[in-house]
Amino acid sequence: MIYVKYIAFTVIGIYALLILYFFYGWYKLRLFADSSLKDSIALSVIVACRNEEHNITELLRCLIAQNYPTQKTEIILINDHSIDNTKRVALECIRDYPHIKLYDLPNGLRGKKDAISFGVEKSGCDLIVTTDSDCTMSQNWLRELILYYKEKKPKLISGPVCLKYEDTIFQKFQALEFLSLIGSGAGAIGVHKAIMCNAANMLFEKSLYKQCNIKNELASGDDIFLMLCAKAQNKKNIQFIKSQDAIVSSVATKGIKSFYHQRVRWTSKSKAYKDPDIILTAILVALTNIILGVSMIYSITNLTFSDFTLLFLLKSVSDFILLFSVTRFFKSKKLMLYFIPLQLIYPFYIITTVLFGLIGNFKWKDRTF
């Protein structure tokens, strides 16, 4: 029994050091200082759309309002066989804006990967920016991305993403957990150990995309597999832009069922990862949460809480240090009120998601995978 205790404390101790390492990477990412944009660069914004009739209008308003020259901006919408009014709503919004084009994804192609690839083929620019059809952003979003690109010249820029949430505990839990992922991913990039990024806010060179030629049967992961390709070439090819004006907001899921399918979809692509940084992090996170979950159940059934309390504190202190800094950047410090409840729920959520992500099916955009 004593050996089990030593193993538990060793695993969670290593996890805590990893999170503090990510915090160091997050801290190293200095706030990007805005400057004047003397010469704009031509870019294409590519958005894959499927069944987004309720969200596409708000996104297009944000894209139309961008503080960036329209003659240097090409916005490409790819309609992925929507079965609602997405196409009609989008066409009504863009009819007076010739720099915005809508294409139907050809028969035989489906899903976000195919849509993005098709959009890249239609693009006439060397720089590609991607976002999602349920997102919104500030009017300086594109300007910030290009200013950063001109200064740093990375192959791929990962941008900050947060969730818009309503006044429900469930959506606030989602928003806080999502910020923990964004903060960890940004911190990992800060120490040149990239493990995640988000296509909802990403800039990359078209030449990189062509070189990588990402092709697999997974329903998601277009962003991370491109990031991993860039990382394999040079770890410094990937950078995170830590800028308030560069934040993109996505929509939190409203129900537990849709949340489950989303998280299982995210987890399902882990079977294809070969990057040692991702694999090590994933194993460490899974083991840490398994240990905490088992320890919690053992403590409750045996009414002995000392070991669980120490393990819980060891993990939670490191998580808190990173998350507090991340929520402050996103001006969402109030979400930290839900930190302790989320820490108690998280082990069981992680175990369930990992299991079903590896062996289960999920629905996405009215399709089953």
Instruction: Map tokens 């590896």 to a residue.
Output: 358
pLDDT tens, residue by residue, 162-188: 999 888 999 999 999 999 999 999 999
Q: Are strands 43-49 and 127-132 parallel, antiparallel or unpaired?
A: parallel
* Strand ranges in the chain using DSSP code E only, listed in sequence order: 43-49, 73-79, 100-104, 127-132, 136-137, 156-158, 161-164, 202-205, 238-240, 248-251, 363-364, 367-368
Band of pLDDT at residue 270, cut at 50, 70 and 90: confident
354 vs 274: CA distance, rounded Å: 17
pLDDT greater than 80 at residue 291: yes
- In the chain, where the domains are located: 1-31+156-198+211-360, 35-139
CB-based contact 230:155 (threshold 8 Å): yes
- For the residues 135-157, what does the mean pLDDT come to? 95
Reduce the DSSP state of residue 367 to 3 states and report it.
Answer: strand
Res 290 pLDDT > 90? yes
Q: Which amino acid appears at position 221 of this protein?
A: G
**Alpha carbon distance 321, 15 (integer Å):** 13
Determine the pLDDT at residue 37.
Answer: 76
Task: Write the DSSP string, 331-353.
Answer: T-GGGGGGHHHHHHHHHHHHHHH
Q: Which CATH class is domain 35-139?
A: alpha beta
Give the Cα separation of 22 and 193 in Å (integer): 9
- Contact at 8 Å (CB) between 326 and 26? yes
Q: Give the pLDDT of residue 1.
A: 66
pLDDT in tens, 81-111: 999 999 999 999 999 999 999 999 999 898 8
Q: What is the mean pLDDT of the chain?
A: 91
pLDDT tens-place string over residues 186-236: 999 999 999 999 999 999 999 999 998 776 566 566 789 999 999 999 988
Dump pLDDT digits (tens) for 66-77.
999 999 999 999
- Measured over the CA atoms of residue 21, residue 339, residue 183 and residue 263, the dihedral's sign is positive
